[in-house]
A = this chain, B = another copy of it.
Amino acid sequence: MGNTFGHLFRITTWGESHGGGVGVVIDGCPPRIELSEADIQPDLDRRRPGQSSIVTPRKESDTVRILSGTFEGRTLGTPISMIVANEDARPEAYSEMATKFRPSHADYTYQAKFGFRNWQGGGRTSARETIGRVAAGAVARKVLRQFHGTEIVACVQRVQHIAAHVDPETLRVTDVEKNIVRCPDPAVANRMIKLIERIRKAGDTVGGIVLGVARGVPPGWGEPVFDRLEADLAKSMLSLPASKGFDFGSGFDGVTMKGSEHNDPFRARQGRVYTTTNRSGGIQGGISNGQTIYFRVAFKPVATIMLEQDTIDLEHRNTTLKGRGRHDPCVLPRAVVMVEAMTALVLLDHALRHKAQCG
């Protein structure tokens, strides 16, 4: 259960890191949208391992195939099935995991829940699962852009203690893509890259914060009271591997302000409504207000490290475990792409819901 996301633009992902592949089925895509693999592959390339010296070196081309739902290069309105083969499967690298639980991984909890697990490469908990989300997110993004002019972009705002100042109003994909860590401030990016490389060599990992931004969202998206826009964004972000927190607009920092400081005054100029500040992060009462939506997602340091750690085995005996081979020193550069994808999925779903009831 729980492998489906969305109410009207609904995706179902499947696949383990070692097995026949990973994929996604999209249900509810509007018909007659031009769509081919060329719309999807770029985001998968941004997500894939081995793209730089600061991410996991697993070798995967992550080439996507669309198996259904399109005809003559356009969407049919029927389910879009997409698949990516697993290529760099190395079950032998994981043989020790068959009997030992990696600390802060999902090994123990999957075993506890299902009484059984695929211990090869993390199985269903592998970051490979996000391939389906990124592929579906690329479709959602295209529809949003085409129908509403909505623009979605995310970046690494912080790695451990190194933070950049990023303005959600001016953040652009081109600035984000200028460096391998995906931080739009080149000087800060350099420091982040050096830190990650040092951490990688030490066999350790670091976490940080991704900033997500959506511009061009019209007022009115979001459903009272449980399916508020920020609630669905929060859920989508906390469903990403290694994520630990979410806030939007002023977020956790807003708790230090008084209401008189925090409120965003409305103003109108030539009939166009805006707020002079944007502590609301573009969302009020669960519904978009037309201002820029922005939020932060905290990611912990990846659990797989190359150092010896205390743990237990399947029989609940104390033991130790030391990672071997390759590891992902920092999930953040790739998490940027996942955050963008989930943002697109949430926004398009709400765009369709809004149209259904109020359109």
Contacts and interface: CB of A to CB of B under 8 A. Distances in A.
Interface residues of A, number: 154
A238 B230 contact: yes
Interface stretch (A10-18, A41-49, A180-188): A10-18
Contacts of A354: 113
A65 B67 CA distance: 15
A123 B71 contact: yes
A155 interface: no
A238 B244 contact: no
B357 A359 contact: no
Interface stretch (A52-60, A171-179, A279-287): A279-287
A65 B252 CA distance: 37
Interface in A203-244: 204-209, 219-228, 230-239, 241, 243-244
A50 interface: no
Contacts of A112: 219-220, 287, 289-290
A93 B221 CA distance: 29
Contact of A285 (B109, B259, B299): B109
B66 A20 contact: yes
10 pairs of A and B residues whose beta carbons are closest in the complex: A106-B285, A245-B247, A2-B223, A2-B227, A20-B67, A205-B259, A112-B219, A109-B287, A235-B235, A14-B79
